[in-house]
Amino acid sequence: MTDPRATERRNPRTVSIDLATPLEIVDVINTEDRMVPDAVASQREQIARAIEIAEAAFRAGGRLFYVGAGTSGRLGVLDASECPPTFGSDPEMVQGIIAGGLPALTRAQEGAEDVVENGGREIDSHSVGKTDFVIGIAASGTTPYVHAAVRRAHERGAKTGMIACSVIPEAVLGFVDVAIVPIVGPEVVTGSTRMKAGTATKLVLNMITTGAMIRLGKTYGNLMVDLRATNDKLKDRSERIVVEVCGVSRAEARSLLEAADKSVKTAIVMQKLHVDRDAALVALERAGGVVRRAIPDAPPPITD
């Protein structure tokens, strides 16, 4: 009997992969992986809707939660953990919840995804409410823990979404505001959803958080300006951005950042408007956090 879940079907193109040479294995996997971007592109409108909902949640003081099990859960936790260093966001803004908790990040917690009641309990324990956005991630579309979490979030008044690489059950669609379903087809190794499904999921998560953060004004053009110089690498990057955008020396950039409490965005507005930190913060607030709306200048052109 054929499994209705696309992620669990056998791939006719890889039935002899156990006899393949290393180079043939690489070629087969690469061929399959090339299907992923098109599958993700087919969901462009749904992903854009998720960006809109996430932006609205953040502007209302709400949070974005990812909920998943296994690979799906790990990808959600990964994306959430990368937002603060990339965008200078509060760690509370984007959070990942994985079935089985912290131990499941490094070691599989078999059966955790089947404990339905734990999904709802996690939502309750995080006090999810009307300003929040909860996205369930389930490659197969059928993970009980994820369904329970999303359903509970819906009951508590939050906006909800689902990301899956197989058809989502109709019953689940009844309590989600947006469904993102990039169908990538059977995996190279049957059921190994850390492969194409995992890649598709990572691409979607990248788009949602990056898109929402851009909308919040975390970039100036394509420069990451809402970061703080908290380590040597970020200090160097911060100084280079201020030098490039403001046309100042390294020493001047360093002084600006110190006066701006190490905030690149604030330093840029201070220099462009010739104001102090407090006035720059007021200008940014009036502009909804978007540098381009707070200052008259466009980002500098790319010269190399």
Amino acid at 241: I
Query: Which structure tokens are listed for 188?
Result: 């190279």
Q: Does 24 participate in catalysis according to the annotation?
A: no
Supply φ then ψ for residue 161, to 5 degrees.
-145, 165
CB–CB of 176/162 below 8 Å?
A: yes
Tokens, residue 85: 């260093």
Task: Answer yes or no: 82 catalytic.
Answer: yes
136: enclosing H helix or E strand: strand 133-137
For the chain, what's the residue count? Answer: 304
Which one, of 135, 133, 201, 134, lies nearest residue 166 by Cα?
A: 201
Q: Which positions ≥6 away from 52 have C-beta within 8 Å?
A: none
**8, 24, 45, 82: which is the annotated catalytic residue?**
82
Question: Is residue 64 within a helix (H) or strand (E), and if so which, with residue range?
Answer: strand 64-68
- CA angle at 268 for the pair 264 and 271, rounded to the nearest 5°: 135
Calpha distance 71→197 (Å, rounded): 9
Helices (H), the chain: 22-33, 36-41, 44-59, 70-87, 116-125, 144-155, 170-173, 196-215, 232-246, 250-259, 264-273, 277-286, 291-294
Minimal CA–CA distance to 154: which of 119, 180, 183?
119
Q: Looking at the annotation, which residues are catalytic? A: 82, 113
